[in-house]
Amino acid sequence: MMLERGSIADRYAAVRAEIDAVLRSLGRPGTVRVVAVTKFQPRTCVQEALAAGVESVGENYVKEAEGKLADLPVRKHFIGHVQTNKARRICELFDIVESVDRIEAARALDRAAATQGRTLPVLLQVNISPTERFGVRPEAFDDLLAGARALEHLRVEGVMAIAPAGVPQVQTMRAFETARACFERSGGKVLSLGMSGDWREALAAGSTELRLGTAIFGPRPAKEAIR
């Protein structure tokens, strides 16, 4: 069971131990990257997470990340919607962008990365949920993959997807399988599936990375509560 109380360090240790146990039960060797999703969490909580051993954090909003993460020694994942007019800031602030879902976003990030003289690792976000606004539809994935691969300053490392929430497990699994099929065609190494409510199913589907918010931090504060 997930702990509802206790410190960030307690919850992080508990969920890591559970993840290791599930990996063992699946007979999957190796490790899985846990990205601590810090959206709406204050900087003090992010610092607490780093002290507890968190090595990667995920943020959805550029503006929020600017004040909170910029100077912290941690691997930063952008997991929010990529607005083309924010591409430059995203590229300056983050180590990897997980949410490239259309060629315009890929091109804007490519230009930003070129300006900064770097190659930006990205994941392509696939839409596997009727309630999710963003993500490329699975039928259009191959076109986006080809387009993004042709860009000199991006490196496509795999696939990210968000499963439908509150559906039967069999539906979650089916959605994850769709994302996995795209991932296999991508030739990448990173499959970012799984959040606090569905990470077990994600591991069963072969996810190599989990994005965990509430499992580590507890319930999220309202957005207005920040700053």
Residues near ligand PLP (CB under 6 A) = 37, 39, 60, 79, 162, 195-197, 211-215
**What is the smallest separation between the CB atom of 37 and ligand PLP, expressed in angstroms?**
4
Contacts of 224 (CB under 8 A, 6+ apart): none
DSSP calls for 121-187: EEEEEEE--TT---SB-GGGHHHHHHHHHT-TTEEEEEEEEEPPSS--HHHHHHHHHHHHHHHHHHT
Query: Residue of minimal CB distance from ligand PLP?
Result: 213
**Distance of alpha carbon 73 from alpha carbon 167, whole angstroms:** 37
- The span from the CA of 223 to the CA of 227, in Å, is 10
CB atoms within 10 A of CB 221: 14
d(CA 10, CA 53): 11
- Minimum CB separation from ligand PLP for residue 210, in Å? 8
Q: According to DSSP H, which parts of the chain are helical?
A: 8-25, 43-51, 62-69, 87-93, 103-115, 141-149, 169-186, 199-204, 214-217
Query: Residue 32 or residue 195: which is nearer to ligand PLP going by CB?
Result: 195
Least spacing, CB of residue 194 vs ligand PLP, in Å? 8
Give whichever of 84 and 214 is closer to ligand PLP, judged by the CB atom: 214
Closest CB to ligand PLP among residues 197, 206? 197
Which one, 171 or 196, has the nearer CB to ligand PLP?
A: 196
CA of residue 159 relative to chain centroid, distance: 9
Q: Which is nearer to ligand PLP, 26 or 165 (CB)?
A: 165
Report which residue type is found at 56. S
C-beta closer to ligand PLP: residue 109 or 212: 212
Q: How far is the CB of 53 from ligand PLP (least distance, A)?
A: 18
Q: How far is the CB of 131 from ligand PLP (least distance, A)?
A: 13
Minimum CB–partner distance for residue 160 and ligand PLP (Å): 7
Check: CB of residue 9 under 8 Å from CB of residue 51. Answer: yes
